[in-house]
Every structure is written in C-alpha cells, then in structure tokens.
C-alpha cells in the first residue's frame, strides 16, 4: 500500500527536481544506496524492475524505507505492463515509471491514485499520456530523442507539460543547467550518480555527496 498520496508524491518530485534511478539484486546493497541518497537530500527514489526476483528486493526495500527513511517516496521503474504495476503497488510503490506508455498501466495506477510517469519519445505520445491522466511524462531516452532542445520545443506549444528527462543526464553543472533551462520539471539519474567503484567499496558518504552537489546545482537553475 502506498504510504503517500498522489499530491505528496508529485510535489516531492517537482520540488526535489531529481529522482535517482537504481537497481541491485542485493537487497542490503540497495538499502545502503537508498539511505545514502536520503542522507544526501533525495526525497523521491526509483528502484527499477530489471532483474530476476526484483519484486522481492523491492518488498524488503519498501519496508526498510518506511522505517529508516520516513520522508522518502519510493517508486518503481521499468514497468511495461499492468499486472506488474499492480504487483509493485501492492508492495508499496508510491509511483510507477516506465520506458514506454501503456494505457493499461495508466488505468491501474489511476484506480489507486498512484502517479504514472510513462516514457515518451514524441509530442503525440506525451499528448496521449496526458489524456490518460499522466501528470508527469518522462522523455526517454532523453539524449536520443532530442535532448534539452526537445524539451523547450515541447513546452512552447504545450506549456502545461510536466517533463522528467531520463537518459543522458549527468550530475554536472553544464548538463543539469541545460536541462533545467530548457524547462524540465525534474530529471531521472542513474549510473552517473552511482559509480560502480563507490558501490563496490561501500563508499556511501561519497554517494550522499554526489546527491547533495547535484541537488544544489538543480536548485540554482530550477525554474519556479
């Protein structure tokens, strides 16, 4: 059961401006990564459905977050079908993200008032997703569908659009400033925020530092 309502979830994603995206088959490692992000100021986190028994890891992570990271909103990513979305909502997912737009997923999420952020690669897909009740749309893969210029060109005729860019997002001032100047609502960031060597050696404070630095840059360039 989701611990936060739809308004709380979207507000956290909008105000924080960054949603870390991560998967690990080891539940204990995943817990440490989430905790590090939380201590770095992150308040919305996307665990991805990318491996065997990912739902079991997420179940453990969901219970851990409820106890150890009470203000963190935990969501699930890489969702492409409605049954999988329903499974993760039962396990406590507060939002659902996908690499593509599936109207059946929108139906499941809308029924439970759980935000669904689908991956869209065209203006028409964004329009169809909005029509299906998706408040926040993900452009994906953001670097391949046009980058920051794609966002600014969407916002011109459709200024009401709330856009999350995922793919080709890096925790640097040059990169983040370009996305936020273009008008993104938030960004999803994966591997660049979690260098493999830091995960391997358990340097959790370094990951917290990367999150703090990225969030500071976002605050600097984020449009009201």
pLDDT tens-digit map of 84-131: 999 999 999 999 999 999 999 999 999 999 999 999 999 999 999 999
- pLDDT over 90 (residue 42): yes
Within a 10 A sphere around the Cβ of 157, how many other Cβ atoms?
8
CATH of 6-218 among 3.20.20.70, 2.170.190.11, 3.40.50.300, 3.30.200.20 = 3.20.20.70
Per-residue pLDDT tens over the stretch 167-197: 999 999 999 999 999 999 999 999 899 999 9
Helix axes of 204-221 and 27-39: crossing angle, nearest 10 degrees: 40
Query: What pLDDT does 214 receive?
Result: 97
Q: Structure pTM?
A: 0.96
Residues 106 and 80 sit within 8 Å (Cβ to Cβ): no
Residues 6+ apart with CB under 8 A from 208: 36, 37, 39, 40
Cβ contacts of 84-91, under 8 Å, gap ≥ 24? 84/49, 85/109, 85/116, 87/55, 88/49, 88/55, 88/58, 89/2, 89/114, 90/1, 91/55, 91/58, 91/59, 91/62
Query: What pLDDT does 133 receive?
Result: 97
- Would you place residue 224 in the very low, low, confident or very high pLDDT band (cuts 50, 70, 90)? low
Distances (CA, A) of 164 to 3, 35, 63, 170, 214: 22, 23, 27, 14, 15
Query: What pLDDT does 81 receive?
Result: 98
Tell me the percentage of the chain whose pLDDT exceeds 70. 99
Query: What pLDDT does 2 receive?
Result: 67
């Amino acid at each position: 059961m989701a611990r936060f309502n739809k308004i709380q979830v979207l507000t956290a994603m909008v105000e924080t401006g960054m949603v870390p995206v991560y998967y690990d088959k080891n539940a204990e490692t995943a817990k440490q990564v989430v905790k590090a992000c939380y201590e770095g100021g992150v308040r919305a986190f996307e665990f991805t459905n990318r491996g065997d028994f990912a739902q079991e890891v997420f179940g453990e992570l969901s219970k851990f977050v409820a106890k150890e990271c009470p203000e963190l909103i935990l969501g699930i990513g890489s969702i492409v079908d409605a049954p999988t979305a329903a499974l993760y909502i039962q396990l406590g997912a507060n939002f659902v993200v996908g690499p593509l737009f599936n109207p059946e997923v929108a139906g499941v999420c809308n029924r439970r008032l759980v935000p669904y952020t689908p991956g869209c690669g065209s203006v028409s897909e964004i329009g169809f997703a909005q029509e299906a009740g998706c408040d926040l749309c993900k452009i994906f893969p953001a670097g391949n569908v046009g980058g920051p210029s794609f966002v600014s060109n969407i916002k011109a005729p459709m200024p009401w659009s709330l856009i999350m860019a995922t793919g080709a997002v890096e925790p640097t001032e040059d990169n983040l400033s370009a996305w936020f100047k273009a008008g993104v609502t938030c960004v999803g960031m994966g591997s660049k925020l979690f260098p493999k060597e830091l995960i391997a050696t358990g340097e959790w404070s370094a990951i917290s530092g990367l999150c703090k630095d990225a969030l500071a840059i976002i605050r600097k360039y984020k449009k009201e």
